[in-house]
């Protein structure tokens, strides 16, 4: 029977090595034995952007990019989006199993009772400029929570990790809502414990002078589904940031702030905001062909298209498209949907995109729904960060519990000069290259 091994010959020495293959990988450290002599450090792998490197073992989220499959703890995302609430899925991601009715009731009660922000946190946020970007406010404020809960530094205590995780899951919507209210000059709305997670978020965003906010149930359910779809996505850029920063044993607030900072980038979670700007720039269906021509000539990227893992349709985009129709039945159709649908139709028939396996990703349609619900584009990434906080925390917990993990510290390929002779300050001549 074929062995699960890889046999390689180093042609520099004619030495042959047999390396074990496990889970479709060879251990990078097994390459270190391949040397040209006793002073040789040994072989490393070189993999910019980790295109082909597994950094961990995980049982949280499974993606099959070629078949467009996404599962949380083994459950297909479509099934969870249809039958669960976001907090039910949050429980699944964090604890590994769907909760019983009693467990869910307890869990929802615990999260609900952590939604308040300390008054000093509210004052901290009031210090931002009126036009501060909500993601910059969110990242800074999540980090600032580290000053409110200094005991969070004890990351070795599982009960403490769980308490801080509940606080983060509960408070991230309050922070995002406060950032929005600050940007429009409205007073902060305190949480209402009678409301669900999504309804309370809408309450903190949109309650005006009415005695009690009543959320539109269709929009609340749409938000809940969008939160489920965005909750985790395996080892994406921000999950990698969460694991890397968490591996130094930083507290969960500073670690989550680092992950949120990674998410804010336009190639990652910031893409949904960029999609709306792109659709605004295109302006009408008639302009789509010319815009695609520009992209194919190398001028920019089609925002909301393409994915490092999905080389098929992002399964989340399909559910989001279905959700969009439900939202538009309430809010009225967002005319940008027609531009997006035309963009998708043309791109999916065009060889440039087919050859590169570029399909709509989770960000392509989410912004159109958010805008129809009344969110401004600069709020879109904060809407991504709210549910993804659960995924980051699940990845963080798994990393801390993984005996194989230690502080992340990659190596490098040195491309600089050999040792150089020092020249005293007065004797140095200008180096043109340094200008």
Q: Which is nearer to ligand SDX, 191 or 270 (CB)?
A: 270
- Report the nearest approach of ligand SDX to the CB of residue 304 (Å): 5
The answer to whether 55 and 242 have CB atoms below 8 angstroms apart is: no
Q: Is 268 a catalytic residue?
A: yes
Query: Smallest Cα–Cα separation from 156: which of 251, 91, 241, 245?
Result: 251
Residue 19's beta-bridge partner residues? 6
- Report the nearest approach of ligand SDX to the CB of residue 1 (Å): 36
Q: Is 154 a catalytic residue?
A: no
The answer to whether 44 and 34 have CB atoms below 8 angstroms apart is: no
Q: Which is nearer to ligand SDX, 362 or 373 (CB)?
A: 362
Residue 5's beta-bridge partner residues? 20
- Report the nearest approach of ligand SDX to the CB of residue 242 (Å): 11
DSSP 8-state code for residue 350? -
Q: Which is nearer to ligand SDX, 223 or 239 (CB)?
A: 239
The answer to whether 321 and 367 have CB atoms below 8 angstroms apart is: no
Which residues of the shown chain bind ligand SDX in the complex (CB under 6 A)? 233, 236, 267-269, 271, 295, 301-309, 356, 358, 361-363
* Dist CA 144 CA 124 (whole Å): 8
The answer to whether 313 and 305 have CB atoms below 8 angstroms apart is: no
DSSP 8-state code for residue 40? -
Q: Which is nearer to ligand SDX, 170 or 358 (CB)?
A: 358
- Report the nearest approach of ligand SDX to the CB of residue 423 (Å): 42
Catalytic residue among 133, 230, 233, 307: 307
Strand, coil or helix: 200 = helix
Catalytic residue among 268, 338, 350, 402: 268
| Closest residue to ligand SDX in the complex (CB) | 306
* DSSP annotation string for 76-95: EHHHHHHH--HHHHHHHHHH
Q: Which is nearer to ligand SDX, 133 or 307 (CB)?
A: 307
Q: Is 113 a catalytic residue?
A: no
Alpha helices (H) in 264-379, listed in sequence order: 271-282, 288-296, 315-331, 336-349, 351-355, 362-372
The residues annotated as belonging to the active site are 268, 307, 363
């Amino acid at each position: 029977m074929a062995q699960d091994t890889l046999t390689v010959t180093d042609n520099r020495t004619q030495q042959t090595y047999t390396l074990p293959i496990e889970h479709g990988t060879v251990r990078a450290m097994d390459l270190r034995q391949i040397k040209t002599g006793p002073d040789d450090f040994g072989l490393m792998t070189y993999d910019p952007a980790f295109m082909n490197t597994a950094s961990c073992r995980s049982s949280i989220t499974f993606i099959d990019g070629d078949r467009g499959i996404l599962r949380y703890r083994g459950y297909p995302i479509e099934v969870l989006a249809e039958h669960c609430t976001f907090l039910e899925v949050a429980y699944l991601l964090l604890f590994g199993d769907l909760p019983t009715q009693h467990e869910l009731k307890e869990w929802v009660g615990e999260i609900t009772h952590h939604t308040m922000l300390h008054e000093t946190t509210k004052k901290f946020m009031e210090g931002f400029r009126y036009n501060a970007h909500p993601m910059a406010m969110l990242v800074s404020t999540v980090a600032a929570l580290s000053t409110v809960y200094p005991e969070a530094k004890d990351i070795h205590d599982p009960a403490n990790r769980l308490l801080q995780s509940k606080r983060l899951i509960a408070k991230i919507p309050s922070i995002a809502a406060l950032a929005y209210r600050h940007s429009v000059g409205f007073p902060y709305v305190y949480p209402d414990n009678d409301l669900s997670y999504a309804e309370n978020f809408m309450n903190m965003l949109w309650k005006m002078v009415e005695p009690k906010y009543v959320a539109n149930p269709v929009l609340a359910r749409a938000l809940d589904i969008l939160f489920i779809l965005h909750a985790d996505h395996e080892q994406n850029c921000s999950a990698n940031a969460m694991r890397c920063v968490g591996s130094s044993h930083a507290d969960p607030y500073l670690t989550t702030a680092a992950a949120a900072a990674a998410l804010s980038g336009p190639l990652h979670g910031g893409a949904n905001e960029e999609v709306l700007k792109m659709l605004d720039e295109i302006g009408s269906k008639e302009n789509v062909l010319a815009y695609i021509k520009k992209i194919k000539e190398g001028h920019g990227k089609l925002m909301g298209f393409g994915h490092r893992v999905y080389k098929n349709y992002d399964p989340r985009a399909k559910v989001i498209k279905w959700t969009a129709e439900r939202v538009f039945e309430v809010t009225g159709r967002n005319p940008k949907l027609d531009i997006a649908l035309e963009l998708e139709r043309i791109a999916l028939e065009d060889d440039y995109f087919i050859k590169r396996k570029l399909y709509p990703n989770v960000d392509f349609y989410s912004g159109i729904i958010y805008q129809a619900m009344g969110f401004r584009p600069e709020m879109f990434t904060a809407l991504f960060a709210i549910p993804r906080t659960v995924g980051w925390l699940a990845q963080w917990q798994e990393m801390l519990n993984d005996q194989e993990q230690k502080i992340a510290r990659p190596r490098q390929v040195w491309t600089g000069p050999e040792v150089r002779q020092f020249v005293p300050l007065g004797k140095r001549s200008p180096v043109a290259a340094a200008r």
